[in-house]
A and B are shown apart, each in its own frame.
Chain A
């Protein structure tokens, strides 16, 4: 079975290459579906396959840039990418990220910042999960009220309307985002991207997990446009991250390319699935992903609280993450297949 293992030229470790492809497929599906890089899923996966942690992060970021490009191409064709919004937000994200990263270094000089960061991350994830499910409940209540009043259900209605209030701030220059379908002050996406970039810099994450809901709830993007635009940003910022990690000598390009083989397929599945799943369907599955991520962080914190049994909690955290990736990938895959079957059958019936 030696042929199933490949020696990585830079990291110097033998890796089970089908594992890389499977990981690529999984994260490609989830990334293409939710519009995020998915570093929180891939890094532990690569570590399990045998990569030292430093190489796992660098390789993950390198593969993330390529994978997000593939997904952006597909989302772009669906009309899900607002390039203007993506470019404006990129400025805020980069500046915010650098400020956040510098802040962490400053905090590190003051003392151990690790625990604080984890607690902030946990609080943020709890807030995002609450926001998503509160939005879903409010939306359902609106639907019920419309049905009870004998009115037609508004297909474009949303539960939380924070973005509408923020759009009322008329601070010049005002910008119209055609793909997103709204006009707002240019300072709104800049401020939101600065905030999400700053948080990502402090937490040491890519930021898709924060940016995607922010695009929906604060900037006011429809879900599909938020997914596509976020991926466009991840592709560019991922390339920047890949550059910095590679310069530090921590990227295994061979592994990233092998993962891209799987991610190319996965990204297509995840992206095409958004064609068949409603905006609120995407939001609900995203909320579940956030809850899974929270559970894994709590397990990691428990590992620090009780060091004697810490290894068990660490292992359980990794399994929770990978189990979540597997379950969600399968769900999205089957939804995509069912949707594609329906579409092909309808086409056949028409012809």
Chain B
């Protein structure tokens, strides 16, 4: 009984350790870092965006740090509307530490 339990545990540990690395093997293939964005694959706004990245990291950064809070704010307000539609009270809470 004890040895059977040992075998089961050994099996379990082997599965826990081996399975994830087999499943994640694909991730290892993408280790290279692209320094220059390949603009040839894109058209429209994507081409403009990649060109901006290649031409000026400063403008690219400025635009990114303006866009992130702006998009966050827009999504936040949209989510607000949806939550109000559900009918929950979203302006107060009663629970404290207990």
Residues on A facing B (Cβ under 8 Å):
7, 9-13, 47-55, 62-63, 65-67, 69-70, 73-74, 77-80, 153, 155-158, 222-224, 235, 239, 242-243, 246-249, 251, 253-254, 256-257, 260-261, 263-265, 267-268, 272, 274-280, 309, 311-316, 318-319, 340, 343-344, 347
Contact = CB atoms under 8 A, between A and B. Distances in A.
The 10 closest A-B pairs by CB, nearest first: A66-B72, A315-B21, A315-B20, A264-B75, A279-B97, A70-B76, A312-B17, A69-B72, A155-B98, A319-B20
Contacts of A12: 34, 37-38
B88 interface: yes
B61 A69 contact: no
A315 B37 CA distance: 30
B27 A47 contact: yes
6 contacts: A50-B26, A153-B98, A155-B98, A157-B98, A311-B21, A344-B86
Contacts of A257: 67, 71
A11 B46 CA distance: 13
A143 B74 CA distance: 44
Contacts of A344: 86-88
Most buried by A among B18, B24, B53, B76: B76
Contacts of B5: none
Nearest to B37: A10
Contact of B30 (A51, A268, A279, A280): A51
Contacts of A79: 92-93
A220 B41 CA distance: 54
A218 B8 CA distance: 46
Given A65-B72, A153-B98, A242-B68, A264 B78 contact: yes
Interface string B6-40: 00000000001111111110110011111101100
Contact of B72 (A52, A260, A265): A260
Interface SS of A by simple majority? helix
B19 to A, nearest CB: 8
Nearest to B47: A9
A248 to B, nearest CB: 8
Most buried by B among A70, A235, A309: A70
Interface string B73-98: 10110111011001111111101111
A268 B93 contact: no
Contacts of B24: 48, 315, 318-319
Contacts of B89: 343
A13 B86 CA distance: 39
Contacts of A249: 35, 53, 57, 60
Contacts of B30: 13, 50-52
B1 interface: no
A7 to B, nearest CB: 6
B71 A66 contact: yes
B20 A278 contact: no
Contacts of A253: 49, 64, 67-68
Contacts of A224: 93, 95-96
Contacts of B67: 253, 257
Nearest to B29: A50
Nearest to B38: A12
Given A69-B72, A318-B20, A74 B64 contact: no
Nearest to A66: B72
B23 to A, nearest CB: 7
A302 B30 CA distance: 24
A274 B89 CA distance: 13
B92 A223 contact: no
A230 to B, nearest CB: 17
Contact of A277 (B19, B34, B95): B95
Given A55-B33, A78-B93, A246 B57 contact: yes
